[in-house]
């Protein structure tokens, strides 16, 4: 229920209770996390109570969100009781806002959790990035050109035998393929003891050699 519609008719007791909880969730996000919500519709939503810190996994939340449209991205910060969902269109995010606000989901322990959704600006995604990089880590922007990106995409073989190669899955709106290790959506992690046998596509070797050369150059510049 959108608070902007309060004046149009008298809210029921249940609606008033829900509205109070939604506003409380909004204030909690701002006070404790610095996440500011907006009163107008955007493509992005913050889903209070729908986070890994609440015991809600990606496998549980994503199908719920996808019932309202194509989820362009789902960000679930570690140990946080909320997540961010970005839809392909604003119409889809508005549908999710109306449909899923107050919806019950069951967490990993079988407990019922009620979701509270609010709109956020796109800028929130950048604000969640770490402010400082760990020692020795360097970020190189645009290291892959558009042509190289196309080559990498074309190197992915969707027809090979998945029993003996890399893990491949079909989700509701997309296909995914894992290299090196299978990504487990239920806990946003991998099992380091179970590497995949397929390895990386051969084309990755040339990119790795290029990046190593670039790293050596940057290191030499840093030393001088």
Q: Do 197 and 106 have their domain in common?
A: no
- The CATH number of whichever domain residue 95 belongs to comes to 3.30.70.330
What was the pLDDT predicted at 167?
A: 65
What was the pLDDT predicted at 42?
A: 92
Q: Do 87 and 154 have their domain in common?
A: no
Within-domain flag for 25: yes
Please classify residue 101 by burial: count the beta carbons closer than 10 Å to its beta carbon, then call 0-12 exposed, 13-18 middle and 19+ buried.
buried
How many angstroms separate the CA atoms of 84 and 4, rounded? Answer: 23
Q: Do 106 and 37 have their domain in common?
A: yes
Structure pTM?
0.52
What was the pLDDT predicted at 8?
A: 54
Within-domain flag for 44: yes
What is the extent of the structural domain holding 151?
A: 146-222
Residue that the structure tokens 């990606």 belong to: 58
Q: Do 40 and 79 have their domain in common?
A: yes
Residue that the structure tokens 């596509």 belong to: 201
Within-domain flag for 128: no
Residue that the structure tokens 């809600």 belong to: 56
What was the pLDDT predicted at 41?
A: 93
CA distances from 8 to 1, 11, 59, 99, 198 (A): 12, 9, 38, 19, 60
pLDDT in tens, the chain (224 residues): 454 444 455 767 777 777 788 788 888 777 777 788 888 999 999 998 888 888 888 888 999 999 999 998 898 888 888 899 999 999 999 999 999 998 888 766 677 888 999 998 864 544 455 556 778 777 777 788 888 888 888 888 777 655 555 566 665 456 778 888 888 777 778 888 988 887 788 888 888 888 888 777 766 655 54
Which of 86, 80, 83, 75 has the alpha carbon at shortest distance from 32?
A: 80
What was the pLDDT predicted at 129?
A: 52
What was the pLDDT predicted at 123?
A: 45
Q: Do 115 and 49 have their domain in common?
A: yes
Q: Do 47 and 111 have their domain in common?
A: yes
Q: Do 111 and 32 have their domain in common?
A: yes
Q: Do 32 and 108 have their domain in common?
A: yes
Q: 3-state class of 83 per DSSP? A: strand
Domain total in the chain: 2
What was the pLDDT predicted at 31?
A: 76
């Amino acid at each position: 229920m959108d608070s902007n519609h309060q004046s149009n008719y008298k809210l029921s007791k249940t609606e008033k209770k829900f509205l109070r909880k939604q506003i409380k969730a909004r204030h909690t996000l701002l006070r404790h996390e610095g996440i500011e919500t907006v009163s107008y519709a955007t493509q992005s939503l913050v889903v209070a109570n729908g986070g890994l810190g609440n015991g809600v996994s990606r496998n549980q939340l994503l199908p719920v969100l996808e019932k309202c449209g194509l989820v362009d991205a789902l960000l679930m910060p570690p140990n946080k009781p909320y997540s961010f969902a970005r839809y392909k269109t604003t119409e889809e995010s508005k549908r999710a806002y109306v449909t899923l606000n107050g919806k019950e989901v069951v967490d990993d322990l079988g407990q019922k959790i009620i979701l509270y959704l609010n709109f956020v600006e796109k800028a929130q995604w950048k604000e969640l990035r770490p402010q400082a990089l760990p020692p020795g880590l360097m970020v190189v922007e645009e290291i892959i050109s558009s042509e190289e990106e196309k080559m990498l995409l074309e190197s992915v073989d969707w027809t090979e035998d998945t029993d003996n190669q890399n893990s491949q899955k079909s989700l509701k709106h997309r296909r995914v393929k894992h290299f090196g290790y299978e990504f487990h959506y239920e806990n946003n992690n991998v099992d380091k003891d179970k590497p995949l046998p397929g390895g990386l596509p051969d084309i990755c070797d040339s990119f790795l050699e290029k990046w190593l050369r670039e790293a050596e150059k940057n290191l030499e510049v840093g030393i001088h």
